[in-house]
Structure 1
Amino acid sequence: MCRSCATTASPAQPSARATAEAPGRTRVADHGLPRRRLLAGLGLGALAVNVPAGASPAAAGEAAAAKNGAWANPALGRFPAGGHYGAPRGGASHAGQDVSNSTGTAVHAAAGGTVVRRSWGGGLPGRTGNALVIAHGNGQYTYYGHLSAYRVALNARVSAGQRIADMGATGNVTGPHLHFETHSGRLGTTVNPVAFLAARGVDLSGGWSRIDPGASGPTVVVIQHLMNQRGHGLAVDGSYGSLSVGAVKRFQRSAGLAADGQVGPATWPVLVYTLRQGASGSPVRALQTALNRRGARLAVDGGFGSVTTSAVRAYQSGNRLVTDGEAGPVTWRALTG
């Protein structure tokens, strides 16, 4: 749990010597990790950050509360006691939500955007540890703190669900965890991350996602592949329009569910298939699409061979799931969350 991470506090004091921001994974030292240099602060003192040119039009144009598939769960783990948004921190309050797991657990981008901070504390007052800040457009930012390793460079463009870092215990903490913040309006204005993501269909505690009519993107492609296994013959175009919604409603009625067209915690468990090596067809295409959203780079060919098995195992291992290479409900829930 964070000992600091307050909304108002004195700025952390990083090393005065800056280090080069090299692309890719950079190991950093802290509490039992391999001994390397701590990354110094970048001297970014101002809280307001302009969104870089070329920011994603999709990210900039998202509806404020749409469960549209554009957001993803940044990390799997548990909510530690006292790690909630607004928890007291001396004379201030906790600015984010802590998600605890072991050092090295995967940290994913919560939405598409540009990495605008990659430094000790993210250059923000009261934060400690190695951190990333991603700008998503429309004044929305996410902060990822106490990282043990970076997997993206400063100014990198990232997509929702992409692995960007490893969980750690750098900074003023009691143990390894992700300190996750959401900023709305400007960088420095935090809002409750649990409520912010819930409004966008993501359960930060690790539950199934919620996808509403009008959504688009890879998670809709997953849904369309799974529906096609049931004979619906949908165009796999990633657009959750009237034809796909109508098919889902028919499926929901046949399963005795509320036919509201939302693919959420009631629908996902009966929609997915448990898959293992040797499986084939549309459900495997759905799985491969979901893995690719998390950075697997698989050919979506519908064949669950050794390469897809390795990708499942790598995802399970990185997210501290049972590493058996089988895509069951727990793995599906994490992948689509």
Structure 2
Amino acid sequence: MCEQCGPADGASGERGNQRFTALSRRKLLLGTGAGLGVMVAGLPGLTPSASAATLKDGKWCNPARGRFPAGGNYGAPRGGYPHAGQDVTNSTGTAVYAAAAGTVVRRGTGVLTGRTGKGLVIAHGGDRYTYYGHLSAFRVALGAKVAVGQHIADMGATGNVTGPHLHFETHRGGLGSTTNPVTFLSARGVRLGGGWPAIDPGAAGATVRAVQHLMTQRGTALSADGAYGTVSVKAVKKFQSSKGLVADGQIGPKTWPVLVHSLRRGSSGSHVRALQTVLNKHGAGLAVDGGFGTATDSAVRAYQSLNRLSADGLAGPKTWEALVG
């Protein structure tokens, strides 16, 4: 889908974008072979320094729903350089979300060398960055602090492309040293493009609060404190055992479908609180009151529309999968 994705040497496409320190620039040159090309690290993928279990902590999410188009894979030849990211195709206007919390450090057209069209870069700390390319619209400002799952942009077809898609990159060890986004996110329990995530003991955040609300609805009252600790893990293991699943405490693709409920306007209970919690992760701004009324119905339909789901107001498995992913 991308006609060109050349080296990321730190050059900015807008004078107003945030400047990096001299030290960061020296690291950048080391990471890109003094600007001779993209450092494509870890082909065919990333080997995390920590165990996979410790990475599935709820800090990362899927940036956009869609499919992988032919020829849009990480490392594929592109204009003399390996393709620096993974393409996720869907229609123009599909929502693009921050894959993790951070700061928007670049925003504009051609914000990385060799990248065309509208794009933005988020710095996540620890020399980790994500790049979102070929956007049709921005939903956040340069310098904005963003939360994981926040709506930051809309998918588009700006620049040298053959059709609308998100070109998504992960940079590790500094901006300019890319890793395979599919394996990078997979190691963190996320399926790029869509799919149920995996959450391990020790995780924290909105998705964990949703799990705790869902477990309360299933008959085990839990405090929705967002910390997946001993009490919550024990409850999930008991639930998994009752459903004939491996009782390992990991909330993954086999546990999610039997944990969630199909909900619509008029539903009430802790499962609705779970739904409101994950809608709020994506910016809905709902009161977490357990009542599926007009505001929640509107939020569900808006989310479904932005993510190219059937906008019928029914929060079924496909909508849940997108929301928690």
TM-score bin (small chain): 0.7 to 0.9
Matches within 5 A, 1:269-288: 269-288=257-276
Is the alpha carbon distance of 1:43 and 1:139 closer, same or farther for their aligned partners in structure 2, counting shifts above 3 Å? closer
* Correspondence for 2:72 among 52, 58, 83: 83
Change (3 A) 1:45 1:242: closer
Change (3 A) 1:64 1:4: farther
Q: Which runs of 4+ in 1 moved over 6 A?
A: 8-12, 43-47
Q: Which residue of 2 aligns with 1:36?
A: none
Q: Mark the runs of 5 or more structure 1 residues left unpaired by the alignment.
A: 15-39, 51-61
- Three-state SS of the structure 2 residue aligned to 1:146 is strand
Deviation at 1:6, TM superposition (A): 2.7
Does residue 265 (structure 1) correspond to residue 258 (structure 2)? The answer is no
Is the 8 Å Cα contact of residues 5 and 79 (structure 2) preserved in structure 1? no
Which of 210, 215, 232 is 1:244 aligned to?
Answer: 232
Percent identity among equivalent residues? 67
Deviations 1:281-309 (A, max 9, x none): 10000000000000000000000001100
Secondary structure, counterpart of 2:166 in structure 1:
strand
Please tell me whether residue 156 in structure 1 is matched to residue 148 in structure 2: no
Distance 1:111 1:43 in 2: 20
- Aligned match of 1:216 in 201, 204, 207? 204
Alignment match of 1:117 (pick from 88, 106, 109): 106
What SS does structure 2 have at the residue aligned with 1:285? helix
Which residue of the other structure, out of 256, 263, 285, is the alignment partner of 1:297?
285
TM-score normalised per structure 1: 0.85
Whole-angstrom CA distance in 2 between matches of 1:325 and 1:272: 16
Match for residue 314 of structure 1?
302
Question: 2:3 maps to what in 1?
Answer: 3
How many angstroms does 1:64 deviate by? 7.7
In 2: Cα distance, 1:11 partner to 1:299 partner: 43
Per-residue CA distance 1:147-201 (angstroms, 9 max, x = gap): 1100000000000000000001111100110000000010010000000000111
Q: CA deviation at 1:45?
A: 8.1
- Asked whether the 8 Å contact 2:17–2:107 carries over to 1, the reply is no
Provide the aligned C-alpha RMSD in A: 2.1
Shift, 1:120, TM fit: 1.3
User: Which residue is 1:190 aligned to?
Assistant: 178
Q: Distance in 1 between matches of 2:276 and 2:177?
A: 37
Q: Which amino acid aligns with 1:118?
A: R
* CA shift for structure 1 position 115: 0.3
**Number of aligned pairs?**
299
Amino acid aligned to 1:3: E
Q: Partners of 2:122 and 2:233 in 1: how far apart?
A: 32
**What TM-score results when the alignment is normalised by the length of structure 2?**
0.88
